[in-house]
Amino acid sequence: MITYEDRRLRTLADQERWTELLGLYRRARAAGGVTEAAPAGHLLAYGAPPELAARLFDPDGGPGTAADEADHDAGPLWEVLATRHSWRRLAPLLGPPPVRRLVLHTRALLGEDLRHGAEPDEEGVPLELAPWEIAGWDERSRVREYLRTGGARRALLALPAGREGLGPVELPEPGEPVRGLAATRLLAACAPWLQVVCVRGSGPDAAAQLAPGGRVTGGYLPFGQAYPGLVQAASDTPAVGSAQGRIALWRVLAAMTGERTVDLREVTALVARLRCFTWSEPTDELRYLHLAVEDPATGLAWAMSGCTPEPSYV
């Protein structure tokens, strides 16, 4: 339902009265917080000139008036802004380091060349997509498609996407659980609706911990093909953007190599040897993920499985 306030905000945006709209945003945020200010913030981030839109994150309006990385409507306000302007335009305008970092990584996801004029990432996450990231990830689906007046579109989260290439598989006995690993904890933190387990054994050994029954429709796929679904699962609420999902997955990969920060050569070698097993379940409907990732070098495998309701922004 479109309220009077919604119409008022859209009228200001249509008339490009951005300074007035920014004032309304700041007053709403100071008085009520993120939710009340969000519609005005989306309109500003999407439509205002970058010099004014970037002021959403500027504290010059007073206490409680500035957006941060948690402010969102159909998606994070910083992500909306990053889809609208290049890093070259935004870099001189953005002050808060967390927002700068996420905008920078969003521009990388959108294919901008950031080899010059961009600060290095604090955790070593590369600002250029790796070949295995690009191989299975359509550029048009890496970041939500935002709409001018509010809302967003996003590719459907489904892994496996269908049963093509899969076949009947008899799962072995469940592998022996391995507890206390950082990679398991980080994977579980990516999406609260996912069950995550680590075992000593193969991908099917791990899958047997979570898949119902001993027989599934499943098969293997390259990690690059599974990776987009993992990033999407890690950024599956309007408060979280694709850049945060990608950073979270690189943290997981770094932890699988035994490191706290990203060593690009170690992660590249890990991805090259990973074996991924995916399966479907009878209860799958629209939004689900079933995947086991096996590292033959360590003898460890992680399985994750779950489904989530359709989010409000789709």
* Distance separating alpha carbons of residues 259 and 263, to the nearest angstrom: 8
Helix (H) or strand (E) holding 21: helix 18-32
Q: What are phi and psi of 167, to 5 degrees?
A: -155, 175
Is pTM beyond 0.75 here?
Answer: yes
Residue 310's pLDDT is what? 62
Residue ranges of the chain whose pLDDT lies below 50: 1, 312-314
* Distance separating alpha carbons of residues 126 and 267, to the nearest angstrom: 11
Residue 1's pLDDT is what? 45
Per-residue DSSP letter, 120: P
E strands of 161-287, at which residues? 167-170, 176-177, 195-200, 215-221, 275-280
Residue 314's pLDDT is what? 40
Chain centre distance of CA 120: 20
pLDDT in tens, 207-245: 999 998 889 999 999 999 999 999 999 999 999 999 999
pLDDT in tens, 144-177: 999 999 999 998 899 998 888 899 999 999 999 9
* Distance separating alpha carbons of residues 34 and 32, to the nearest angstrom: 7
| C-alpha to C-alpha distances, 24 to 18, 20, 65, 74, 78, nearest whole angstrom | 10, 6, 10, 19, 18
Residue 313's pLDDT is what? 43
CB 172 within 8 A of CB 208: yes
Chain centre distance of CA 239: 10
Decide the pairing of beta strands 158-159 and 288-295. Answer: parallel
SS3 of 26, please?
helix
Residue 6's pLDDT is what? 85
- Of the candidates 76, 95, 59, 118, the residue with the CA atom closest to the CA atom of residue 245: 76
Q: Which two tokens stand for residue 105?
A: 């990584």
